[in-house]
Chain A
């Protein structure tokens, strides 16, 4: 069973479209995260949720809106996609001692 699963794995879309990425974890963790990995492989936190509540919201355009329907899910919705949004997006979760488990990533390409 995959611990942290993201869908879709690949997402190709046109500028201006709205898209969502889903994340689910079956580890029973309370905290979930979204990270963005740019073309130079640099990883940076976007959002952090604990028990469905937003804890951290880094400097991210408000076109990005996370939603956590329950502790096991943290979805990422992106409005009005731009070329610069092209990246790999990783979901992660953790419980104690901040040992984070990552999903396989979603490669978003905006054309």
Chain B
């Protein structure tokens, strides 16, 4: 099983300031097709997860461009260029290279200072 590790566990942020979340995998997520099978999700309080980023750096439909994903292999980052109040919740990374046996990180809780 591929283990996904996120940091930090909690991230207090100031509206308008940038934020960054790290995700590390125990095995490379770089497929032979040249794509990184890493996704980012946001789970707002009381809601289902919503896809933000797929294949490491592709924004999902309707996701604001203040969200960006980067990284390759085993190290990945989700960046929010300017945090807004509606961005609070728990962020998760998920590996999809081992589909269907996908695995998720433990989550990073983003809260407003």
A joins B in a complex = no
Binding site for B on A (CB under 8 A): none
Binding site for A on B (CB under 8 A): none
